[in-house]
Every structure is written in C-alpha cells, then in structure tokens.
C-alpha cells in the first residue's frame, strides 16, 4: 500500500501544540480515516526508536499511546527510569557509597521517606518525557492518545477515553505494546501491602519488612534497594540458583553483599498461599510447610505481553499463553507487514535491546540495510551493580573452549578506593590460544559503564594484548582492564614456564588428555 502525499490531512501539516492539550492531538482528525506508511503501537523505547527511524526515511509515521501520562512507555513511567532513579536516590540518601570512609552509621538523611525517593523520580521522568515528545515532534511523527486495536491487517482503530475513535490505515505496523506485571488471582493485591513493581512508587510509606516473590532481575533489584534502606527483605523463589544467565562467581558475590545487608533467600521454595493477619501483617505459606510473616509483599514473578486489547485476531495474529508475539530475526511476525519489537516479543526484555529491535524492524520493513550489534551487554542495577558481555565460565566450560581468566579486584584500583568500593571485581575471559576476548563480567561501582570497553574490544575482534598495551586515564575504573589483562597473561606465562621445564613425554603420553578435573586444577592456579 502506498500513501500519497496529497492525502496528508491538514492537521498533520500544522505545528504541534506543546501544552498538555497535546493529549488531544491531532484534534480535528477524530472520526476520520488517516493514512500512514507506518503505525507504531506503544511509545516505549522500541516504539520511539522505530518511529524515528522510519521518519528519518521520510515515511509518514503515527505513534499510538494508550494514555498521555504513559508517553515514554513502561520504561519511563514504571520500569527502567524510575527504578534506576530510585536506586540513585537511595544510594545518595542512605550514604551507602561513603560508609567505607565515614563508617557504617553514615547517612545523608536519617529518616528517608517514599516522598524523598519520589521527588528525584518525578524530576527525571518529567524531563525525559519532554525529551521523548520533543523528538517525536521534531521528526514530524503524529502522536495519538488512545487504545489501539486492529480492525484489519492494515487498519487500526484508536479509541480514546471518551469513546471517540479514529481509524489509521497503514502499509506497515510495529507492535511495541510492551508488557505488564503478571497478577495471579491468588495474590490479594491492594497496592499498599501487596503490590507489583508498577505500584512501588505509589507506596505511602517504606515498609519495615518486605517479602519479594520472584528472584528475577526486578525482584532482586528492588529487594536490594529496600535492604539498603534498612528494610528486612526476604526473597522467595522456586529456583535453586538465581540469575542463571550471569557468571556464577559474580552472582555469589552479589548474594554475599545482599546477605550482609540482612537479606534472606528462600530458594527452591514455592508459595502456596497468602493470608492477611492482624496488625497489617501478611503470612506467606510455602510448599515446604514454612511460613513467612512480613509487613508487605512485592510480587515480581514475571510479566505478560500487553496484547489483550489489540484485537490481534483481526490482523491474523495469535499471541502465546503469556501474551507475547513470535517474530523472526527481522522482527517480522507471521503476518509479514506486522513487526513485533521490544518486551512484547520476550527475551531479553531490556530497554537497550528494545530500541535496537525498533530500528531493525523499520530497516527491514522499508528495505534498508541494518548492521545489528552482535555482542550485547547486560546490566543489572543491583547494589552493587553487575554487568556482563559475552560468554560466562559455565558456558565456555560446557563448550570445552580453552580459556583463561584475568581478574582485577577493585581494592587494587585507586579509583575503586576513591569511590568507596573495595569489594568489586572485573574478570575477563580470553581464549588461551588466540587470546581473543570471550567475555567480561563485572560487579561493583560503574560496572554497567565500564563493561562497554570490553564490549567494544570484543566487537572489533580484539585480544587481551590490547589491554596490556593500551593506556587509560588514571585513576579510572577502566584501569581494571589493564590489571585483569596482566593477571590473565601472567597465568599464561606461568603455564609456559611449567611446560618448558616439564620432563619430555612420549608421543603417546602427549596425546593423552588430562582428566577434566586436572584441567580445572591448572585453571585454578
């Protein structure tokens, strides 16, 4: 379907109002049929970046967001940005980063309230929402506020709260509707004592104790934030090991920190019931017969695709049982002109990747080349933060890749001490023969920033030698890479010395592999 220029309605050619009246834009278009090259459903990172990429290709683009106050998506209003801002506020107000110098009792503020935390969040969110709106406007993208639902494969109805609707006809569609927290009926949510991650910022008070159901990224991030505030936190999860995608040593280190903040982990335990007790107490019954009593419960055991109201059947699509869409490597669904991007397509459900998917889909839809990022970083904003790129030790061991590890401990890094972090570490995994970097794993201050140095060198096919030879500013956390490189290369040279001084072996003996345990011992040296 080609959209002719002369079909562009008057309201699209006019400038956009910048006041809150913008909610009604394009005002005189309601009850009309509007024509576009691309309609984007959802204004989170995937939708925004997809819409802007298409506008840059001179396509006529509309973006639909359910609620004016939700512009910027879950990412901006209840996910990434508020949670990271709240974390920063907690670090500042609790004095956490300075306790190393000023002592365990050091606090910036003694009685921290939810209002204190909300203040910084509101400040950041408001600014970021303006940035999003400004970018959409500058790129000539029409924004609609209302619920989008398919009328047919190329037709989308946008219905606003008052019931009026407008029909958008389009050549291509980007579904970027994101996810919402899973809310099983068995959990008695009330938004104050039993709540999900979208409701945290609305709490009137910081609870004295918190039970977190679900030890995934969201549960652990919030659990540690509250524990840093002095809340007694217990995490319950059916899995025996948390954050399985991350390096085991880094996760162990994180758990050590969490426990030192008083956090308790009940792993391999399933919740079978929740009761409200007197005096605002909640009791959680575990399948093992244990009972946990707390003042509040955060339910963070999964999110479901926000596709219920899209009327996907009219477009020929069926979501899976968790509301998510299947799509191929170009982000195309079974219906080739409809693309799925961001959290609605499932793993990895990160804002960073969602943006990339938005651009990838648009390039494919409009026949543009796309050079995707092959080495994706992951960041977890726990306290301390952790970050990783490439393979971890378990994966390399399973794949029988001969690798070595170079480690830098933050206590050896001057900047680490200055930042008050002498427990962090960075480990670099590299191929023993080609010396290529295979993975970088980090825990501690600035981990989510410095990981990108490793990511860049990996993406460019660099080796450990790069880090031996390069010069970093001093003092910086980047120096970790140099220290880790020397540590790793020392291990290699040690191995060389042993090999040179070993007695010569017969041909047959040389070919006999060491038992696996013995290989592991060599690594441990």
Ligand X SMILES: Cc1cc2nc3c(=O)[nH]c(=O)nc-3n(C[C@H](O)[C@H](O)[C@H](O)COP(=O)(O)OP(=O)(O)OC[C@H]3O[C@@H](n4cnc5c(N)ncnc54)[C@H](O)[C@@H]3O)c2cc1C
Per CB under 6 A, residues contacting ligand X are: 41-47, 64-67, 70, 73-75, 79-80, 83-84, 147-148, 176-179, 197, 218, 306, 309-310, 342-344, 349-352, 354, 381
Residue 94: helix, strand or coil by DSSP?
helix
Given a contact cutoff of 8 angstroms between Cβ atoms, the answer to whether 189 and 54 are in contact is: no
SS3 content of the chain, % helix, strand, coil (to 5): 40, 25, 40
Q: Are 203 and 194 in contact (CB under 8 A)?
A: no
Assign 153 to helix, strand or coil: coil
- Token representation of residue 463: 């080796």
Tell me whether residue 215 is annotated as binding: yes
Q: Which helix (H) or strand (E) holds 13?
A: helix 10-13
Q: How far is CA 124 from CA 9, 54, 80, 116, 369, in A?
A: 35, 27, 12, 13, 35
User: Within 13 Å and on the Cβ side, how many CA atoms surround 276?
Assistant: 10
**Residue 149 beta carbon to ligand X: minimum distance, rounded to whole angstroms:** 6
Q: Tell me, what DSSP letter sits at residue 463?
A: B
Residue 218 assigned ligand-binding role: yes
Smallest separation, CB 201 to ligand X (Å): 10
- Backbone torsion region of residue 137, taken as left when φ is above 0, otherwise alpha when ψ lies between -120 and 50, otherwise beta: alpha
Minimal distance, residue 147 CB to ligand X, in Å:
5
Residue number, 176 or 443, with CB nearest to ligand X? 176
Smaller CB separation from ligand X, 183 or 398: 183
**Residue closer to ligand X, measured from CB, 178 or 488:** 178
Closest contact distance (angstroms) between CB of 124 and ligand X is 13
CB 65 → ligand X: shortest distance, Å? 5
Q: What is the DSSP string of 472-499?
A: --SS-TTHHHHHHHHHHHHHHHHHHHHH
Q: Is 115 annotated as a binding residue?
A: no
Q: Which residues contact 452 (CB under 8 A, 6 or more apart)?
A: 377
- Give least dist CB 381 to ligand X, A: 5
The answer on whether 390 is annotated among ligand-binding residues is no
Which CB atom, from 221 or from 269, has the smaller least distance to ligand X?
Answer: 221
> Per the annotation, does 272 bind a ligand?
no
Residue 354 vs 393, nearer CB to ligand X: 354
**Considering the complex, what minimum distance in angstroms separates the CB of residue 361 from ligand X?**
11
Question: Which residue number, 352 or 397, has a Cβ lying nearer to ligand X?
Answer: 352
* Best CA proximity match to 339, nearest among 51, 77, 132: 51
* C-beta closer to ligand X: residue 38 or 64: 64
Parallel, antiparallel, or unpaired for β 209-213 and 147-152? unpaired
Is 406 annotated to bind a ligand? Reply is no
- Pick from 310, 270, 274: nearest CA to 287: 270
Nearer Cβ to ligand X (79/319): 79
Residue 211 marked ligand-binding: no
Query: Is 214 annotated among the ligand-binding residues?
Result: yes
> What does R_g of the chain's alpha carbons equal in angstroms?
26
**Residue 450 labelled as part of a binding site:** no
Tell me whether residue 488 is annotated as binding. Answer: no
Nearest approach in angstroms of CB 292 to ligand X is 22
Residue 265, beta-bridge partner list: 235
- Give the annotated binding-site residues for FAD: 84, 343
- Give the annotated binding-site residues: 84, 214-221, 302, 343
- Give the annotated binding-site residues for NAD(+): 214-221, 302
């Amino acid at each position: 379907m080609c959209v002719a220029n002369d079909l562009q309605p008057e309201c699209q050619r006019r400038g956009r109002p910048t006041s809150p009246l913008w909610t009604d834009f394009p005002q005189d278009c309601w009850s009309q049929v509007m024509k576009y090259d691309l309609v984007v459903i959802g204004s989170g990172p995937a939708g925004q970046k997809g819409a802007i990429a298409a506008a840059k290709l001179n396509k006529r683009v509309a973006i639909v967001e359910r609620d004016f106050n939700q512009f910027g998506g879950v990412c901006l209003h209840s996910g990434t940005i508020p949670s990271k801002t709240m974390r920063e506020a907690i670090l500042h107000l609790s004095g956490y980063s300075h306790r190393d110098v000023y002592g365990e009792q050091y606090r910036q503020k003694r009685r921290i309230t939810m209002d204190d935390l909300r203040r910084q969040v509101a400040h950041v969110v408001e600014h970021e929402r303006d940035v999003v709106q400004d970018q959409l406007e500058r790129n000539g993208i029409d924004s609609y506020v209302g619920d989008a639902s398919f009328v047919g494969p190329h037709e989308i109805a946008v219905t606003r709260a008052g019931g009026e609707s407008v029909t958008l006809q389009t050549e291509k569609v980007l579904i970027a509707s994101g996810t919402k927290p899973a809310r099983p009926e068995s959990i008695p949510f009330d938004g104050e004592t039993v709540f999900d991650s979208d409701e945290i910022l609305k709490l009137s008070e910081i609870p004295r104790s918190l039970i977190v159901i679900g030890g995934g990224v969201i549960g652990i991030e919030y659990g540690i934030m509250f524990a840093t505030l002095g809340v007694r936190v217990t995490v319950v999860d059916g899995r025996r090991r948390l954050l399985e995608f991350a390096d085991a040593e880094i996760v162990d280190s994180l758990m050590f920190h969490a426990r030192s903040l008083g956090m308790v982990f009940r792993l391999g335990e399933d919740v079978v019931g929740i009761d409200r007790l007197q005096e605002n107490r909640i009791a959680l019954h575990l399948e093992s017969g244990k009972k946990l009593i707390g003042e509040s419960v955060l339910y963070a055991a999964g999110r479901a695709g926000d596709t219920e109201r899209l009327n996907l059947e009219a477009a020929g699509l069926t979501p899976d049982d968790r509301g998510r869409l299947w799509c191929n490597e170009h982000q195309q669904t079974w219906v080739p002109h409809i693309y799925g991007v961001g959290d609605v397509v499932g793993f990895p459900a990160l804002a960073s990747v969602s943006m990339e998917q938005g651009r990838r889909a648009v390039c494919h839809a409009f026949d543009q080349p796309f050079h995707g990022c092959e080495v994706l970083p992951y960041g977890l904003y726990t306290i301390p933060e952790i970050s990783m790129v490439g393979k971890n030790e378990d994966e390399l061991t399973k794949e029988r890749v001969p690798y070595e590890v170079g480690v830098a401990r933050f206590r050896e890094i001057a900047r680490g001490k200055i930042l008050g972090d002498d427990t962090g570490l960075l480990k670099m995994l590299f191929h023993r023969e080609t010396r290529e970097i295979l993975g970088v794993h980090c825990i501690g201050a600035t981990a989510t920033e410095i990981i990108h140095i490793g990511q860049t060198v990996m993406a460019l096919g660099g080796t450990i030698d790069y880090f031996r030879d390069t010069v970093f500013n001093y003092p910086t956390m980047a120096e970790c890479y140099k220290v880790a490189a020397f540590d790793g290369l020392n291990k290699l040279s040690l191995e060389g010395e042993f090999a040179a001084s070993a007695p010569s072996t017969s041909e047959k003996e040389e070919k006999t592999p060491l038992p696996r345990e013995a290989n592991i011992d060599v690594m441990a040296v």
